[in-house]
Amino acid sequence: MQEFDVIARFFSHQNSQQNASSAGVLLDKGDDCALLQPSQGKQLAISTDTLVADVHFFADMSAHSIAHRALASNLSDLAAMGAKPKWFSLALTLPSVDETWLAEFSRGLFELADLHGIYLTGGDTTKGPLAISITVIGEVNGNTALKRNNAKPDDLIAVTNQLGDAAAALQFLPAKNISQLPLAQQNIIAAYQYPKPQLDAGQALLGIANSALDISDGLLADLQHICAASQLSAQISLDKLPLSDDLIAQFGQQQAIRYAATGGDDYQLCFTFAKDKLCQLTEIMQQQGIHWTVIGSMKQSEQSRHQVKCTLDEQPFEFDRAGYQHFSEDH
Ligand code: ADP
Ligand code: MG
């Protein structure tokens, strides 16, 4: 099968809700470039993420979930800015043309793409070690996008849904027969294989949150980016981190907190907002059925050290790299 046959067969998907013209695609895949019509008054938000086999995912994971993760991690970046997904391109590097694999990959890809109304405008197909690189483009009203650099002192810090399951899933993967594992373990694995990009939450935060990002490398590491960009520090109560019952049941409270604070791959949003927006935000999130939890607040930094500080039972608490925890020395 040639490159063009692969594209025609697996990546020329049409769906009933959206066609090229309703998606603002003036010229579809097939030429050297696609031509896109941005909506009036909108800014474009663009981001690329590459997933390399056995670095960012297990190559023997189902192709359906590989495709889902690849697109979800990109959509998550749009969610973090409050942008609405519009278009994406797909650069696929394949060791060989395996039709069964491609059919599953294509199914996983377009299930998620159709769910969020994002249109595949083109890409590239090459031979080599398995890797997937996706570029997403979204739209956001002029000058409203949520950024990392606008957190304010005394802002509350919150996260969507629950944290830690995806990182904990690596304890159970790779797994041959996932459907035969206990349900709690299947749920934890699903958090890793099928992350849900928080697009509704991101758009709900527009005009309310001062800063936001998505959690891909772990809450503490990612919140550090807001601190650095906003030149502030963050104070987090580890007791407040939202944890799933499955995670606590499988690993215990302490280890669950560790996964939630330091593990990656959650693709939840972390955001900050002024205290006087609390009522408005509570109402909007409730209307949309979005779970979220306040976990701390932003502070002025001492001596220009912009850092994330944690407490557990109101005592200062630090994680160290080796996975061993101890109380902070400078308190
Ligand atoms: P060029 O050599 O001009 O870069 P290609 O031969 O790589 O073009 O691709 C031909 C057309 O097929 C282009 O419009 C491109 O966007 C599209 N295409 C290639 N790979 C994919 C893919 N994996 N998914 C969707 N469209 C693709
Ligand atoms: Mg090419």
DSSP string for residues in 34-88: -EE-PPTTEEEEEEEEEEEBTTTB-TTS-HHHHHHHHHHHHHHHHHHHTPEEEEE
233 with 302: CB under 8 angstroms? yes
Which atom of ligand 1 approaches the CA of 91 most closely? 23
Kindly give the number of the ligand 1 atom that is closest to the alpha carbon of 12. 25
From 2, 4, 6, 7, the mutation candidate for ligand 1 (largest count of ligand atoms within 8 A of CB) is 7
Residue to substitute in 89, 90, 124 for testing ligand 1 pocket (most ligand atoms within 8 angstroms of CB) = 124
Q: What is the pLDDT of residue 324?
A: 41
CA 33 to ligand 1: nearest atom: 14
Q: Among residues 170, 46, 63, 143, which one has the least CA distance to residue 106?
A: 63
Per-run averaged pLDDT (10 residues), the chain, 331 residues: 90 88 95 97 97 92 97 98 98 97 98 97 96 98 97 98 97 92 97 98 98 97 97 98 98 96 96 98 98 98 95 93 46 38
Parse the chain into domains and list their residue ranges.
3-141, 156-317
Q: Does domain 3-141 have CATH number 3.90.1150.110?
A: no
Q: Beginning with the edge strand found earlier in the chain, give each strand of the sheet holding 315-319 in spatial order.
A: 209-215, 268-273, 156-160, 292-299, 233-237, 308-312, 315-319, 325-326
Q: Ligand 1 centre and the CA of 34: distance in Å?
A: 10
> CB–CB of 213/267 below 8 Å?
no
Distance 123 CA to ligand 2 centre (A): 7
Task: Specify the residue with its C-alpha closest to ligand 1, atom 7.
Answer: 124
Q: Which pLDDT score is estimated for 53?
A: 96
The reported pLDDT for the residue numbered 325 is 46
Helices of type H across the chain: 3-10, 63-81, 99-116, 165-169, 183-193, 199-204, 219-230, 245-262, 278-288
∠ CA 28-31-33, rounded to 5°: 75
- The Å distance, Cα 124 to ligand 1 centre, comes to 5
Closest-CA residue, ligand 1 atom 10, reads: 30
Which ligand gives the minimal distance to the CA of 92?
Answer: 1
How high is the pLDDT of residue 323?
42
**Can you say whether residue 218 is alpha, beta or left, with left for phi > 0 and alpha for psi between -120 and 50 degrees?**
left
Helix (H, G, I), strand (E, B) or coil at 184: helix
Nearest ligand to the CA atom of 2:
1
Distance 265 CA to ligand 1 centre (A): 29
> Which has the closest alpha carbon to 219: 270, 150, 257, 152?
270
pLDDT at 321: 61
Residues with CB under 6 A from ligand 1: 7, 11, 29-32, 90, 92, 120, 122-125
Distance 8 CA to ligand 2 centre (A): 15
Which residues have a beta carbon within 5 Å of ligand 2, which is an ion? 124
> 192 alpha carbon to ligand 1 midpoint, in Å?
30
Give the residue carrying structure tokens 């994971």: 61
Instruction: Provide φ and ψ at 149, rounded to 5°.
Output: -100, 15
Instruction: Take atom 24 of ligand 1 and give the residue whose Cα is closest.
Output: 123
Judge residue 20's burial from the number of C-beta atoms within 10 Å of its C-beta, 0-12 exposed, 13-18 middle, 19 or more buried: middle
Please give the model's pTM, rounded to 2 decimal places.
Answer: 0.94
CA of 83 to the centre of ligand 2 (A): 28
Homologous superfamily of domain range 156-317: PurM-like C-terminal domain (3.90.650.10)
Q: Which residues of 87-111 are buried (b: 16+ CB within 10 A; e: fewer)?
A: bbbbbbbbeebeeebbebbbebbbe
